Amino acid sequence: MKEKFEGLKEFSALQRNVVVISLAIFFLGLGENLWAKFIPKYLEALGAGVLAIGLFGTMESFLDAIYQYPGGVITDKIGRKYAPILFNVLGLIGFLIYFFSMGWQHVFIGLFFVMGWTSFSGPAIFAIIGDSLPKTKRAMGFTVQSILKRLPIVIAPPIGGFLIARYGVYTGVRVGLFVTIFLAFLTIFLQNRYYVKTETELHKEQNETENSILALFRAINPNLKRLLLSDIFVRTAEGLSETFIILYATNIIGVTAFQFGTLIAVQMATSIMVYTPVARLSDRIGRKPFVILTFIFFSLFPLSIALSKNFPLLIIAFIIGGLRETGEPPRKAMIVDLSPKEARGRAAGLYYLIRGLAVTPAALIGGFLYEEIAPQTPFTASFTIGMIGVLIFSLTVKEKYSE
């Protein structure tokens, strides 16, 4: 009886921790998405040119890459309670730098800290969900996390767009940053007060083995390596055009900041609508069909933007953009399924490290294509490269999971 009680207590603590980290993602996401999609316009307002904005996107991808694996290592070293708090503090410093920026160069400095929360915390989230849930529930677990991450993107961008329309880009973004700073302090309090370190987590940390990156990569399931290769193509395609979507929509097509915020909300609402039914099917029939779908929509989204001539057509394009998330929880669940059981956090970190480094030059190349050839060029190039990723995944990846 005592053992059953202890098991129930342990399970409740694990679920509580998933809720705490999910709420942290929600609150910080609510603040960040007031201004995150408008950062290229913020840089433009501070005097940055198109190539500098492309460089910012490249730096963002590079930091996202190199922070992932250290995030997994730090989480293993100092524990899953204190690592996310540390990452949140780093993000808070970055938000403060953004807030007080007087030139676009300062935003580049702040990016080093902002990405501390965005990227360091990723492997910890993968490990918490992977350890807390069985294989048949992981896609749904990632779905809940994804909904809480993206629900703020439905709410916040239209508000951010309204603030920019009302007060201008510089002041509007700074108002959003002020809200984010407040929410960062609130999140640090919640993480420190309510996260519970469980006996399972303590035992796991004490018995964590040290492996080199090379040894860990060799131990990874070959199907995970093939998923990684196809993902690199798809995310390179995304990187070529993603940074320039707001510039294309506002400067070329002529939509307002508020309309662009509305487009982001439409995109995220579409994602949230498909998450739950797809996750249930994925846990029953497998991940692969839905990952193929998500990769196809990743390829179609930039092409649909390039073909748009007005706001109504952009709405259709952003619905397609929302459908990109169709297979994201199944893809994340597949990463956990295919990762070594004893090293899920580090394996997820290594996956995103390699993917991020490979994708890093994409935004800078996209900026060159946008400025030197034509604004539509990075979007059409994205479609071609993305479809190569679809073919690689479809033809090579098989669903044979680790336990």
Contact 304, 317 (CB under 8 A): yes
pTM: 0.70
pLDDT at 9: 41
133: pLDDT confidence band, cut at 50, 70 and 90? Answer: low
Q: How far out from the chain centre does Cα 277 lie? A: 21
Contact 26, 151 (CB under 8 A): yes
Q: What is the pLDDT of residues 334-346, one digit of tens each?
A: 887 787 766 667 7
Q: What is the pLDDT of residues 275-307, one digit of tens each?
A: 777 777 776 777 788 889 899 999 999 999 999
CA distances from 138 to 89, 286, 334, 349, 378 (A): 29, 12, 9, 18, 35
CA dist., res. 92 & res. 75, Å (int): 19
Place of tokens 């480094």: 357
Mean per-residue pLDDT, 379-383: 93
What residue spans of 252-343 are helical by DSSP H? 257-285, 288-306, 311-323, 328-338
Place of tokens 């040119």: 49
> All domains of the chain, ordered by start, with CATH?
11-205+221-396 (1.20.1250.20)
Residue 78 has pLDDT above 90, yes or no: no
CA dist., res. 316 & res. 31, Å (int): 27
Q: How many helices, marked H, and strands, marked E, lie in the chain?
A: 19, 0
Q: What is the pLDDT of residues 188-218, one digit of tens each?
A: 998 888 877 654 454 454 444 445 777 778 8
pLDDT at 137: 64
CA dist., res. 393 & res. 387, Å (int): 10
CA distances from 189 to 21, 27, 192 (A): 12, 12, 5
Task: Pick from 122-136, 277-291, 299-313, 321-335 the range whose average pLDDT is largest.
Answer: 299-313
- Identify the sign of the CA torsion 303, 41, 62, 118: negative
Q: How many CA atoms lie within 13 A of 85 on its CB side?
A: 14
State the DSSP string of 233-245: HHHHHHHHHGGGH
Q: How many CA atoms lie within 13 A of 366 on its CB side?
A: 34
Mean per-residue pLDDT, 228-250: 90
CA dist., res. 76 & res. 141, Å (int): 21
Residue 49 has pLDDT above 50, yes or no: yes
Mean per-residue pLDDT, 75-98: 85
Q: Which of 89-103, 142-156, 176-190 has the lowest mean pLDDT?
A: 142-156
pLDDT at 119: 78
Question: One-letter amino acid identity for 300?
Answer: L
